[in-house]
Amino acid sequence: MNSKLVLIGNTSSTLLGFRSDLIKCLIANDYQVYALVCEYSADDLQKIEEIGAIPITYTMRRGGLNPFSDIKALFEIKMKLEQIKPDIVFSYFTKPVVYGSLAAKLAHVPKVIGMIEGLGSPFTVHKHGQSFKVKLIRTIQVCLYKIIFPFLDRIIFLNPDDPIDLIKKHNIRHKSDAIEMLGPIGLKLSDYPHKRWNEGHQVSFIFIARLLAEKGIFEYIEAAKIVKIKYPHITFKVIGGLDAENPYGLTQQQLNEVISSGIVDYPGFVTDVAERIADSAVFVLPSYYREGVPRSTQEAMAIGRPIITTDVPGCRETVIDGVNGFLVPKWDAQILAEKMCYFIEHPVQVNIMGLESYKMALEHFDVEKVNKKLFSIMGLNESNEKTG
């Protein structure tokens, strides 16, 4: 009889975007996979079935702060786990790790694993500090982790700063052998083929992220303004959506103003991200968000682009300063602009540093290697030695 593994996440789109290869790998190694999601579309649920998993929906607002609603979700997940009787529950993202793991414990699941993919907004400090609400959310989150972490069999982190800032700083108890370092969750590298930048073209820059302050959009725009004073014909591309719910986001009016002023090129919603990276010379992400390891940066490195990013947890895992790009201080548009100018003035460095990015991607971001490591961490059997 096949072992049963339950993945507990939040949205069907992130499960398909970031867990498809893991699901295929699990199925290839004779695991029966159930995928629990709380925000979904019928189309996505069908796609989850097509890759071989059994989709199951539950009710939870991933951004909600109503404790009664979350407790209701906890018992709903517990009931579903009691019906499935899984051997392993693997949760990721904050709420699924907290409530999914607790439900698994209450349902007497033999092995319970949680993955912390960056510390997120509650641990992100803005230039002018944190609001009382965010500080309160962080305090509540830490209290919940103090309840959950002691019984988790594995607590997986993506970068070395997160366990220090979460577990060590807040003195959270855990099993002696529970903490594991995975590194980036990886990419299917064939989806992001390496392509040398055409040195006959003008150097251009590309930013890919939600248009939020913590992702560095304001520093990117400010740096673009500085660079354009000296090099007015340089192109600065922006790909990413607005987030009206986020108080620190770029507004529609601000976006319209920078587009009309010609500071940035903004194509709106696109599906050909890899091609747009390949058509750009340098990838820029001035984020100070508590990332795990940014996926967009991994994609740009796989394609073979140099990176300019901030010297903060998660982001710093993607750059060896001066080798495959540059690390800059957070919130410093002036230094960011100087590093952009370096590539404009030394265009030969685009492919030299881009090749180093590509080598790093081959070594660290190959999803087959990452899944092999994840299997080892989780104590799973690779019975068929398949990777999907």
Q: Rounded CA gap, 236 and 203, in Å?
A: 10
- pLDDT category at 387 given cuts 50, 70, 90 is very low
Could you tell me the end-to-end alpha-carbon distance of the chain, in angstroms, rounded to an integer? 21
Say how far apart CA 82 and CA 104 lie, in whole Å.
Answer: 9
Q: Do domains 3-186+366-378 and 189-364 have the same CATH topology?
A: yes
| Mean residue pLDDT across the chain | 94
CB proximity list for 347: less than 8 A, separation 6 or greater: 199, 203, 281
Q: For residue 248, what pLDDT is reported?
A: 82
Q: What is the CA radius of gyration of the chain?
A: 21
DSSP 11: B
C-alpha separations of 299 from 18, 122, 133, 235 in Å: 13, 26, 34, 20
Tens digits of residue pLDDT in 156-205: 999 999 999 999 999 999 999 999 999 999 999 999 999 999 999 999 99
On whether the 189-364 domain is CATH 1.10.3720.10, my answer is no
Per-residue pLDDT band for 381 (boundaries 50, 70, 90) equals confident
* pLDDT confidence bin for 243, thresholds 50/70/90: confident
What confidence tens digit (pLDDT) does each residue in 274-293 have?
A: 999 999 999 999 999 999 99
pLDDT at 1: 67
Q: What is the mean pLDDT of residues 38-50?
A: 96
Q: What is the pLDDT of residue 388?
A: 42
Cβ–Cβ contacts within 10 Å for residue 188, how many? 15
Tell me the domain boundaries of the chain.
3-186+366-378, 189-364
Q: Is the pLDDT of residue 67 over 90?
A: no
Compute the distance between CA of residue 328 and CA of residue 308 in angstroms, rounded to an integer: 7
- Give residue 305's Cα distance to chain centre: 19
One-letter amino acid identity for 297? T
The CATH homologous superfamily for domain 3-186+366-378 is Glycogen Phosphorylase B; (3.40.50.2000)
Residue 66's pLDDT band, with cuts at 50, 70 and 90, is confident
Burial 4-16 (b: 16+ CB within 10 A, else e): bbbbbbbbbebbb
Indicate the pLDDT class of residue 383, thresholds 50, 70 and 90. Answer: low
pTM of the model: 0.92
